[in-house]
Amino acid sequence: MSTDTQRLLLIDGHSLAYRAFYALPAENFSTSTGQTTNAVYGFVSMLINVLADEEPTHIAVAFDLGRQTFRLAEYPEYKAGRAKTPDEFHGQVELIKDVLKALAIPVVVKEGFEADDVLATLACQGAAAGMEAGIVTGDKDAYQLASDSITILYPKRGVSDLTRMTPAAVEEKYGVTPANYRGIAALVGEKADNLPGVPGVGEKTAAKWLTKYGDLPNVIEAADEIGGKVGGSLREHLGEVERNYRLNQLITDLELDVSVADTRRGEVDREALDDLFDQLEFQVLGRRLEALLGSTTEERPSADIPEPRLLSAAEFTSWLQAVDAEAPVGIATDAQFALGLGTVDSIGLAQHDDVVATDLSRLDESGVDALSRLLAEHAHLTFHGAKAQLKALVQAGYPMPWLETDTEIAAYLVVPDQRAYELTDLCTRYCGFSPGQTEPEEGTLDLALGGADAALRALGRNAWSTVQLAAALRAILADAKMVGVLDEIDMPMVTILAQMELSGIAVDLTALQGLIDEFGAQAADSAEAAYAAIGHEVNLGSPKQLQAVLFDELQMPKTKRTKTGYTTDADALADLLVKTGHPFLEHLLAHRDSIKLKQTVVGLHRMVADDGRIHTSYLQTVAATGRLSSVDPNLQNIPVRTDAGRRIRDVFVPEQGAGFSELLTADYSQIEMRIMAHLSGDESLIAAFRAGEDLHSYVGARVFGVGVDEVTAEMRSKVKAMSYGLVYGLSAYGLSRQLQIGVDEARELMDGYFERFGAVKAYLDSSVENARSVGYTETMYGRRRYLPQLTSDRRQVREMAERAALNAPIQGSAADIMKIAMIRVDAALREAQLKSRVLLQVHDEIVVELAAEEYAQVAALIRSTMGGAAALSVPLDVNIGHGPTWQQAGH
DNA sequence: ATTGCAGCAA
DNA sequence: ACGTTGCTGCAATC
């Protein structure tokens, strides 16, 4: 960009704010006073980026004004059918205008016109005055304005990534000139504006026609000579197309209160801006803006990343030998891991501002030694998403590193309910710079053009970035007193999980194949019987087709509504079976059972690796409470409640012929209720656990006012359901439905419980109230979960948050205790030089592969370690079993 | 490719 | 509207 050209930046405020609102999760952007700020954050973040990128000399933001526009007047259905914008959005537009005012950026509106018309007018005026104009808008109609002097900056995904739509880019994407883009839009239609186009005509067909006939009026004129089905379709919809064409034309000659000269950048009101950002609690964003406004050179933040050096094998070795043992080292690799096998080809390393990268395959022996020593001995290694990389490195022959910080996990601890923790996003958010593209652009040309080197440099940048990010996140965790959770619980877990996943668990393939055949045959039989019962075939797996059979064909009474019709879930079907006695239902239910089992065993079979074992992956940053989750396959939901289901657990066995003899399972009994007893301090409940009697009978005796041996099986099961339900925030209505009893009886049960265990109720209530006032819940070890929805005025949203607030400290403390136990078990097994190893974790249970002759020692070690993992006011009971399969090791 | 339903676990 | 936290597979929809 030449410095003497004047650059005009024009932004569609409403459309960008709206995109930001939906791109950023509202629950992660809310101030302590409850103001939602996601749209403001996204908008301002986009604004900062675009100011840095475009360096405009002139700038303006347009907003829509007035409900009545000329488009609506011509077509009353314009933009109809759009969902009502949520209340959380409107207030944020005002905040955005406040920010713009402080930044001295004029806001332009014109009654009866949309923001894009205003922008089009200003852009044309600017272009006429010899300026370069950029229009930031989420409305593609603006493409029609693209020219040598006007570029459209269209947000690709979210609001952070803007595509530059020049005339060439428009032509490349749509095959037509910007002027003809209107024709494409008119033919294809725009769903968001409720402007239907020609059915069957997409961008390709539209472009073909426009190229052939020149422009849309010519296409319309020639409509009669266009053959085929689409030709007919076009003739039928000419009216709509002409209307779309009129409506999507942007107005470029509005009379505005603001002229291009008025948009010259003015003096920023720093004080107002500081106040505003304080109020919005935008710390990082404030610093980013500060950096941008403060420096006259307006250096890009990403320019701060040191340029990575690509090293030869010899250079790499000497770099490693010169590493400072006291300073953090960032590591990033291109590791991939699937089905028990990993690959890692290249590595980036960073210490201080020295960033290097190399191909691992090129390393000679001394290079491998030096890297091994770094991994084994350095005390300050930082990764982002370490576990898969550790596994791949270990399989490549390197030692298992001791890692100080995994920035993905640190970011999870800071905000545990985010969907993704991408390094780039986190750097933008917490450090105010962006390491940029983490992987080279797709496409075969890249390799030829040095894509491999670019990929190496990206690894170097990632390695450096993760060190900066670790420092930023640790500072935040220190403020929240959560460094202990990071260092003592979640970091040590990473290597333990990596080892468990590398081990995997052996399966008996013959037995597994047997189950596939058996469950498959059962499913086929039930399906046949079901078809016979109604006289025709139907896809039993399709709720929609089942509804047709049950409610239309067989005229059965309607079940509970779902979004798309009536439920056909197992409860409802069982209910219908009682009411109608129709044999179809019986066979359908049997089919559901066996097809589900078959699906499960087929899924497991698919995941057996070449070593005959299943290597699940544990996810450490998914469950908002601190639990682990398991994928590929999920080994935390293997059936156990039915006999048929339990048989699946029989295919999990110890490794054959390697000195392993049995599997051992160890689980905490009623850990969540014990935690509830501890946290509430309820004397009765604590006494119940200390008595060591059957908990549900003990509680049942209290609730029903009878002796412990007078508690019937029915009473016990009711109490059991209620006790478990309490941990989840169960209501009387929910309890009544689950137990198939009246709401009154359920209410009496709950009242009875709370009367005898008063401190439990007090604890549950105060726990929610406390979370509402501070904004988060806490486990016994300080792991937080933020729940800003606790102050929502939408009842359903608020109550959902209340139940989450009730559950999170209990579920989360249990998860913490299990993690601590696993860390200590791992250490104790090592210490005692035992060969047995932990393979699986299922929330309150671990599965251990027992080396021959080690049962007694391992059982004792695990019982005492798990039982002593936390000091509660009640004992932590551990059940242990062992046997030749997972099923038989259970108890 | 995404959404909804259904069903498994703790 | 009415019980938390997860994952997977299928059908239907875009």
Q: What does R_g of chain A's alpha carbons equal in angstroms?
A: 32
Structure tokens at A52: 């840095």
Question: How many helices (H) and strands (E) are present in chain A, helices listed first?
Answer: 37, 29
User: Å between A562 CA and B7 C1'?
Assistant: 16
The residue that minimises its CA distance to C1' of B10 is: A843
CA distance A197 to A185: 8
Residue A596's nearest nucleotide, by CA–C1', is B7
User: Å between A9 CA and C14 C1'?
Assistant: 35
What's the pLDDT score for residue A22?
74
The answer for residues whose C-beta is within 8 angstroms of residue A726's C-beta and 6 or more apart is: A676, A753, A760, A764
CA distance A748 to A764: 18
A496 within 8 A of A823, measured Cβ to Cβ: yes
The residue that minimises its CA distance to C1' of C10 is: A541
Longest dimension (CA), chain A: 94
**Cβ of residue A844 near strand B, that is under 7 Å?**
yes
User: Å between A734 CA and C2 C1'?
Assistant: 6
SS3 assignment for A250-276 = CCCCCCCCCCHHHHECCCCCHHHHHHH
Tell me whether residue A259 is exposed, middle or buried, using C-beta atoms within 10 angstroms of its C-beta: 0 to 12, 13 to 18, 19 or more: exposed
User: Å between A319 CA and B2 C1'?
Assistant: 48
Taking the CA atoms of residue A184, residue A185, residue A186 and residue A191 in that order, the dihedral angle to the nearest 10 degrees is: 140
**Cβ of residue A438 near strand B, that is under 7 Å?**
no
CA distance A476 to A876: 33
Half-sphere exposure of A666 (CA within 13 A, CB side): 25
User: Å between A627 CA and C1 C1'?
Assistant: 27
Rounded to two decimals, the pTM is: 0.73
Q: Which of A249, A251, A12, A10 is nearest to A131 (CA)?
A: A10
Give the DSSP letter string of A516-550.
HHHHHHHHHHHHHHHHHHHTS---TT-HHHHHIII
List phi, psi (to 5°) of A553.
-65, -50
What's the pLDDT score for residue A880?
97
**Cβ of residue A761 near strand B, that is under 7 Å?**
no
User: Å between A662 CA and C9 C1'?
Assistant: 32
Name A668's bridge partners.
A878
Residue A559's nearest nucleotide, by CA–C1', is B5
Nucleotides of C strand lying within 7 Å of any protein CB atom: 1-13
The residue that minimises its CA distance to C1' of B5 is: A543
Q: 10-residue block means of pLDDT along chain A (891 residues)?
A: 75 86 70 76 84 87 79 73 67 89 90 89 92 90 91 78 82 84 84 72 81 84 77 80 86 89 88 81 73 50 79 96 97 94 97 97 95 98 97 97 96 93 90 66 44 92 97 96 98 97 97 96 95 94 92 92 90 92 95 94 95 96 96 95 95 95 96 96 95 93 95 94 92 91 94 95 96 95 94 89 96 97 98 98 97 97 98 97 96 75
CA distance A349 to A354: 8
- CA distances A187 to A229, A687, A823, Å, are 15, 75, 63
A839 within 8 A of A848, measured Cβ to Cβ: yes
**Cβ of residue A803 near strand B, that is under 7 Å?**
no
CA distance A542 to A537: 12
**Cβ of residue A562 near strand B, that is under 7 Å?**
yes
Element (H, E) at A225: none
Give the DSSP letter string of A172-199.
HHHSS-HHHHHHHHHHHEEGGGTEE--T
The residue assigned the tokens 């200003």 is A122
User: Å between A655 CA and B3 C1'?
Assistant: 41
User: Å between A796 CA and C1 C1'?
Assistant: 7
Residue A607's nearest nucleotide, by CA–C1', is C8
Residue A619's nearest nucleotide, by CA–C1', is C6
Residue A672's nearest nucleotide, by CA–C1', is B10
User: Å between A627 CA and C3 C1'?
Assistant: 18
DSSP state of A562: E
**Cβ of residue A539 near strand B, that is under 7 Å?**
no
User: Å between A806 CA and C4 C1'?
Assistant: 9
User: Å between A564 CA and C12 C1'?
Assistant: 11
CA distance A842 to A814: 12
Q: Which of A630, A648, A650 is nearest to A639 (CA)?
A: A648
A887 within 8 A of A698, measured Cβ to Cβ: no
Residue A733's nearest nucleotide, by CA–C1', is C2
CA distance A724 to A753: 12
What's the pLDDT score for residue A157?
64
CA distance A262 to A257: 10
The residue that minimises its CA distance to C1' of C9 is: A599
Taking CA A760 as the corner, what is the angle to CA A759 and CA A762, rounded to the nearest 5 degrees?
60
CA distance A515 to A597: 9
Residue A882 three-state SS: strand
**Cβ of residue A789 near strand B, that is under 7 Å?**
no
CA distance A112 to A66: 6
How many angstroms from the chain centroid is the CA of residue A89?
22
Helices (H), A189-339: 203-213, 216-221, 228-236, 238-247, 270-280, 283-294, 313-321
CA distance A177 to A188: 16
The dihedral region occupied by A555, where left means phi > 0, alpha psi between -120 and 50, and beta the remainder, is left
User: Å between A203 CA and C1 C1'?
Assistant: 44
Name A665's bridge partners.
A847, A881
Q: Give yes or no for a cis peptide into A633 (omega within 30° of 0).
A: yes
Nucleotides of B strand lying within 7 Å of any protein CB atom: 4-10
CA distance A451 to A771: 50
Residue A634's nearest nucleotide, by CA–C1', is C7
The residue assigned the tokens 């156990």 is A640
The residue assigned the tokens 């990993």 is A342
Element (H, E) at A459: helix A451-479
